[in-house]
Amino acid sequence: MTQSDALHPLPAGRKPWNRWRVGDDHADLSRAGHRVRPLTIAARPKNLTLDVSRTALLVVDMQNDFCSAGGWLDHIGVDYRPARAPIEPLRAALPCLRRAGMPVVWVNWGNRPDLGNISPALLHVYNGSGSGVGLGDPVPATGAAVLQSGSWGAAVVDELAVDQADIQVAKFRMSGFWDTPLDSILRNLGINTCLFAGVNADQCVLHTLADANFLGYDTLFLEDCCATTSPAFCWDATLYNARQIFGFTALASDVCRALEETQP
């Protein structure tokens, strides 16, 4: 029996090629190479080719408090309906991306009941007067605690079913990377390219995308799967920055069309 025959693979998580093979007196850290799956798609400011096997979809804040009647935005008098625009495009794109083997990562507010890791500055964002309904407070219409882990308000909208194989990451800032395991999860998956969807495009989506860029990930903002309740100029500035300094923008429908065209 050779040394190689005596080695056993450690559990690999979701990417079989990202694992060691070990025995009693030897550990092989070389990791088997993965098969590159190039996909060329229409994008701006230029078309691009990505590796499907190293790409993940990050869906940000498609939660009841932002997107549903009776949620926090609705309660404070903001028209939440624009935040629902990504629902149907995502319903179309999610099965396609899952079939292609792309991990789907839901990055959502999910605060601790004691708000122990939330700063005063962030509390002020959600309750500027100090006398309104803010993080952790019950919304009168539903009694659900605003963006608290396990509450109705923090749940993904009913129209977007979270698959058992999907990954869920709770966040506590406008970026999904601060104070969370998101970076570690993506690196263990071998991801180098992130597709972005969700709301608000100019706030939590953009700041998560920017941090991904700062950490060395390639970023692609999916225009048809993002939206905002902010003024129109915020959307325009988000598209400008996503293309000019952070990466690229594209349509999820074009990504799925390209995937379908590459299927045998």
Per-position pLDDT tens, the chain of length 264? 455 556 677 765 566 677 777 888 877 777 777 889 999 999 999 999 999 999 999 999 999 999 999 999 999 999 999 999 999 999 999 999 999 999 999 999 999 999 999 999 999 999 999 999 999 999 999 999 999 999 999 999 999 999 999 999 999 999 999 999 999 999 999 999 999 999 999 999 999 999 999 999 999 999 999 999 999 999 999 999 999 999 999 999 999 999 999 876
Which member of 171, 194, 224, 226 is catalytic? 171
Q: Do 162 and 176 belong together in one domain?
A: yes
B/e letters for 101-132, b = 16+ CB within 10 Å, e = fewer, are ebbbbbbbbbbeeeeeebeeebeeebbeeeee
Report pLDDT for 13: 59
Q: Do 129 and 157 belong together in one domain?
A: yes
28: domain range? Answer: 1-33
Q: Do 163 and 85 belong together in one domain?
A: yes
The total of other beta-carbon atoms located within 10 Å of residue 47's CB is: 12
CATH of the domain at 49: 3.40.50.850
Q: Do 157 and 236 belong together in one domain?
A: yes
Report pLDDT for 197: 99
Concerning whether 46 is annotated as a catalytic residue, the answer is: no
Report pLDDT for 237: 99
Find all residues with CB under 8 Å of 75, minimum gap 6, and list them: 133, 139, 140, 141
Report pLDDT for 1: 42
Q: Do 23 and 66 belong together in one domain?
A: no
Concerning whether 194 is annotated as a catalytic residue, the answer is: no
d(CA 46, CA 179): 34
Q: Do 100 and 177 belong together in one domain?
A: yes
Cis peptide before 45 (omega within 30 of 0): yes
Q: Do 213 and 96 belong together in one domain?
A: yes
CA-wise closest residue to 175 among 223, 229, 215, 143: 215
pTM of the model: 0.92
Residue type, 77: G
* In the block, residue with structure tokens 């690229």: 248
Which member of 67, 194, 204, 225 is catalytic? 204
Q: Do 16 and 40 belong together in one domain?
A: no
Q: Do 22 and 104 belong together in one domain?
A: no
Count: domains in the chain: 2
Concerning whether 171 is annotated as a catalytic residue, the answer is: yes
Q: Do 10 and 58 belong together in one domain?
A: no
Report pLDDT for 14: 64
Q: Do 7 and 126 belong together in one domain?
A: no
Report pLDDT for 4: 54
Q: Do 142 and 12 belong together in one domain?
A: no
Residues for the chain: how many in total? 264
